[in-house]
C-alpha cells in the first residue's frame, strides 16, 4: 500500500487547527481533523459537509475517483482575527485538497 500525504494551503485563520492527515489507498480516502474551535468543513465536489465540535477529532471518508485540486472551506461562521499582521475573517478560511495518484506522487 502506498502512502500519499496531502498538504493544505490557503488556511489563514491562526485558531483554525484543521489538519488533513492522509489519503489511504487509491480508491478510498480518510481525512482526520482535530480542531480547537467549533468549525465545519465542506468539500462540495466530494459531497462532504461535516461539523467539527470544539476539542474533538473527526474523520471524513470519501472515494477519490479522480486527481485534481478540490476547494474546501469552513462551513460554520467563526469570526475574525489577526494573522501575520493581516486581518482575516471567516471568508478567508478556504483551501484546496490536492489529490494525486500514488504513481504521480512518486515521480
Instruction: Read off the C-alpha cell for 1.
Output: 500500500
Domains of the chain: 3-106 (2.60.40.420)
Quote the Cα angle for 54-48-28, to 5°. Answer: 110
Spatial neighbors of 98 by CB under 8 A, at least 6 apart, are 6, 7, 69
- Torsion, Cα 81 8 18 15, to 10 degrees, reads -20
> Which tens digits make up the pLDDT trace of 48-95?
787 877 777 777 777 777 788 888 777 777 667 666 777 777 677 777
> Cα–Cα distance between 84 and 101 in angstroms, integer?
34
> Which tens digits make up the pLDDT trace of 27-38?
345 555 555 566
Amino acid at each position: 500500500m502506498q502512502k500519499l500525504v496531502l498538504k493544505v494551503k490557503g488556511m489563514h485563520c491562526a485558531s483554525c487547527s484543521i489538519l488533513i492527515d492522509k489519503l489511504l489507498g487509491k480508491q478510498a480516502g480518510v481525512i482526520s481533523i482535530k480542531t480547537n474551535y467549533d468549525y465545519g468543513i465542506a468539500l462540495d465536489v466530494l459531497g462532504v459537509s461535516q461539523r467539527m465540535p470544539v476539542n474533538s477529532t473527526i474523520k471524513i471518508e470519501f472515494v477519490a475517483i479522480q486527481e485534481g485540486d478540490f476547494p474546501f472551506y469552513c462551513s460554520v461562521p467563526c469570526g475574525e482575527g489577526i494573522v501575520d499582521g493581516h486581518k482575516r475573517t471567516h471568508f478567508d478560511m478556504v483551501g484546496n485538497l490536492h489529490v494525486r495518484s500514488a504513481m504521480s506522487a512518486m515521480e
